[in-house]
Amino acid sequence: MARLESEIAEQRASETLATTDRQTTIVTVGELLVEFVSHEKDCALERIVDYSGPYPSGAPAIFLDQAARMGASTSMVGCVGDDGFGRALLGRLREDGVGIDAIQVAPNLTTGTAFVTYHKDGSRDFIFHLQSTAAEHVVFSPEAMPAGDLVLHVSASSLGPPALRAAILDAVEAVLDRGGRICCDPNARPELMRDDEGKKALEMIVAKSFCLMPSTSDLGFLFPGETEEAAIEHLLSGPAEIVAIKRGSDGASVVRNGERHDVPGHRVDEVDPTGAGDCFCGTLIALLMQGGPLLEALRLANAAGALAVTRRGPMEGNSSPDELTRFIESGTAPGGEQPT
Ligand code: ATP
Ligand code: MG
C-alpha cells in the first residue's frame, strides 16, 4: 500500500512536470521605462503644458503585459533602477501577472524615461532617456529562463541600442538552441534602419521567426515598391508560418497555411495610439500559444488594439479577455466609445 502511494505520488510529480514542460512561456528582452504624456497637442515638447505619468512603458513590456492579461505564461528580461519609477513598473507588471523574476534592479542607475506629445496630424514627438539608464543595462542569462517551451518575442524598436541588441541576439540564440521559437514585430523605424548593425540584426531575426506581425508602413519600408500581396509572400517564403498585418484604424489581417482572415477596424476615439501595435501582438500571440483559433485570435487582437488607443498612457489601454468580449459584443468600450 505504502509502495502504491509512493508510486502514485511519483506519477503525479512527473505529470505536473510534464504539464509545466508543455506550457509555452512567452519571453521578451528589452527596455523598461516610464512615459510622461503631454495633455496638449502641438506643444512639440517645447512649451510648458500639463503632463501625466509615470506611465509604465517600453514596447516589450506593453506586449508582455497584454499577453499575461490574456492568460499566457510570461517572463520579462529587463532592468529598472532602485527608484519610484522602477517600483511603479515592477508593481504594474506583477499586478497584471507578468513573470518578473528575470528583471534586475540596478542600484546605481535610474529607470529609463520618455516624454511624448502628439501633433494634430497624428504624428508624435518623443524624447527618450535610455542611454546610461537601467533601461539599457540588460543582460540575458539562459539560466534565468523558465523550464518548458519558450517563444521569444522581439520588438524591432529594441534593436537600436547596442547593449539591448546584444542581449536580444543572445536570447535569440539561446531560445533557438533550446528548441524554442521566435516571433517578431518588425517595426521598421527609419532611425533604426540607418544603423547597419540594427538592420542586420532585424533581417536575421525576421529570417528566423515563425510569426511576423508588421504594420502596413513596415511592409513599405521592408519591401519598397512591392504590393502588399508580394510582401506577404516574401515574408512567408522563409520559416514564417504566420503573418499578421496591422492597419491602424483600418483593422488587421492574418495569414497561416493558406488560411486568411481580414477584419475592419473598430470605430473609436483615438486618445493615445502609442502601444496599440504591441497590445495587438501580445493578444494574438498569447491566444495562438494557448491553442486559440486563428480568426478568434485576430478578432480579439483587433479589439485589443482599438481599446488601447482610447486611453492615455501606452499600457493603460491593455485589457482582459472579459473586457474585450464585452467591447465586441456590446459595441461599447469602457469609456463609451462605439466600435463598428
Ligand atoms: P504602434 O503605433 O504602437 O507602433 P503599429 O503601427 O505597430 O503600432 P497599428 O496598426 O497602429 O500598429 O495598431 C495595431 C492594431 O490596433 C491595428 O491593426 C488595429 O487592429 C488596432 N488599432 C490601432 N489604431 C486604431 C484605431 N485608431 N482605431 C481602431 N483600431 C486601431
Ligand atoms: Mg501605429
Residue 21 CA to ligand 1 center (angstroms) comes to 34
Q: Is the pLDDT of residue 4 over 50?
A: no
Whether 115 and 126 have beta carbons less than 8 Å apart is answered as yes
- Per the rule left: phi > 0, alpha: psi between -120 and 50, beta: everything else, 44 is left
pLDDT of residue 142: 94
Query: In a mutational test of the pocket of ligand 1, which residue from 215, 221, 300 has the highest number of ligand atoms less than 8 Å from its CB?
Result: 215
- This prediction's pTM: 0.91
pLDDT in tens, 293-333: 999 999 999 999 999 999 999 999 999 999 999 999 987 76
Sequence-distant (6+) residues with CB within 8 A of 323 are 307, 334
What residue's CA is closest to ligand 1, atom 9? 248
Of the listed ranges 46-55, 188-197, 212-221, 319-328, the one predicted with least confidence:
188-197
Position 138: which residue type?
A: V
Residue 111 above 80 pLDDT?
A: yes
Per-residue pLDDT, averaged over 149-163, amounts to 95
Residue-level pLDDT at 261: 98
User: Which is nearest to 71 in space by CA: 287, 256, 220, 255?
Assistant: 287
User: Ligand 1, atom 21: nearest CA belongs to which residue?
Assistant: 305
Query: Ligand 1: residues whose CB is within 6 Å?
Result: 187, 215, 246-249, 251-252, 265-266, 268, 270, 273-278, 280, 302, 305-306, 309
Cα 238 to middle of ligand 1, angstroms: 25
- Indicate which ligand has the atom closest to the C-alpha of 314: 1
Distance 277 CA to ligand 2 centre (A): 6
Q: How far apart, in Å, are the Cα atoms of 39 and each of 178, 312, 314? A: 46, 9, 14
Give yes or no for residue 3 having a pLDDT over 90: no
Tell me the CA–centroid distance for residue 143 and ligand 1, in Å: 35
| pLDDT on residue 27 | 98
Which distant-in-sequence residues (6+ apart) come within 8 Å of 218 by Cβ? 186, 187, 188
Ligand nearest 274 Cα, by number? 1
Ligand nearest to the CA of 277: 1
Instruction: Evaluate the CA torsion angle 53, 39, 308, 185 in order and state its sign.
Output: negative
Give residue 211 CA to ligand 1 midpoint distance, Å: 18
Kindly report the protein residue whose alpha carbon is nearest to atom 5 of ligand 1.
277
- pLDDT tens, residue by residue, 40-57: 999 999 999 999 999 999
Above pLDDT 70, what percent of the chain?
89
Q: How far is the CA of 20 from the centre of ligand 2 (A)?
A: 36
- Residue 12: its pLDDT value, please? 46
CA distance readout (Å), 35 to 59, 88, 210, 270: 11, 11, 31, 18
CA-CA-CA-CA torsion sign (236, 240, 246, 251) = positive
